[in-house]
C-alpha cells in the first residue's frame, strides 16, 4: 500500500487551477490544534455576546483562523500566478483571489473531517 499524505484538488471555481492539500495525520492534527485552539475558543465566546463590536472581533478572528488553515494545509497551487509569481500559501492569502482561497480553505477543513458548523469558524 502506498499512502499519499497529500491530495490534489481541481478547482471548481477557477478552471485550470489545481491545488494540493495536506491530509490529516496524528502530528498534523496536534500541530493544527495548537495553532487554533485559543483563537477558536475566543471566537465562540465573542459570538455568544450581543455587542456588535464583539461580533466584529469574532469575524476578524475567524478570518485569521481561515488564513491559518490555508497556510497550514496548502502544499502547492498550480495554474495561477499572483503578481507574476507562483504563489506560496502566504502570498495567496495576502494577495490571491478570495474565492479561490475560500475554496481551498473549505477543502482543507473537509480533509480535516470538520462538520459544517465547525467549518464556519
Buried b (16+ CB within 10 A) or exposed e, 24-49: eeeebeeebeeebeeebeebeebbee
Per-residue pLDDT at 119? 45
Report the pLDDT value the prediction gives residue 64, as an integer from 0 to 100: 94
pLDDT at 77: 98
Domain ranges of the chain: 6-113
Distance CA 57, CA 48 (A): 12
Q: Where are the alpha helices (DSSP H) in the chain?
A: 26-48, 52-73, 89-95, 98-111, 116-119
Q: What is the pLDDT of residue 75?
A: 97
Q: Which of 38, 23, 40 is nearest to 108 (CA)?
A: 23
Stretch 63-92: mean pLDDT: 96
Q: For residues 62 and 40, is the Cβ–Cβ distance under 8 A? A: no
Query: CB count, 10 Å around CB of 107?
Result: 19
pTM for this model (two decimals): 0.85
CA–CA gap between residue 74 and residue 55 (Å, rounded): 28
Burial class (CB in 10 A: 0-12, 13-18, 19+), 119: middle
pLDDT of residue 116: 53
Amino acid at each position: 500500500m502506498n499512502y499519499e499524505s497529500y491530495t490534489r484538488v481541481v478547482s471548481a471555481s477557477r478552471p485550470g487551477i489545481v491545488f494540493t492539500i495536506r491530509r490529516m495525520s496524528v502530528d498534523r492534527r496536534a500541530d493544527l490544534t495548537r495553532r487554533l485552539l485559543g483563537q477558536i475558543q475566543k471566537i465562540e465566546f465573542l459570538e455568544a455576546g450581543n455587542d456588535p463590536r464583539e461580533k466584529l472581533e469574532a469575524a476578524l478572528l475567524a478570518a485569521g483562523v481561515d488564513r491559518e488553515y490555508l497556510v497550514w494545509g496548502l502544499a502547492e497551487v498550480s495554474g495561477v500566478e499572483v503578481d507574476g509569481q507562483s504563489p506560496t500559501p502566504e502570498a495567496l492569502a495576502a494577495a490571491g483571489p478570495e474565492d479561490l482561497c475560500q475554496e481551498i480553505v473549505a477543502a482543507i477543513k473537509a480533509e480535516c473531517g470538520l462538520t459544517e458548523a465547525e467549518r464556519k469558524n
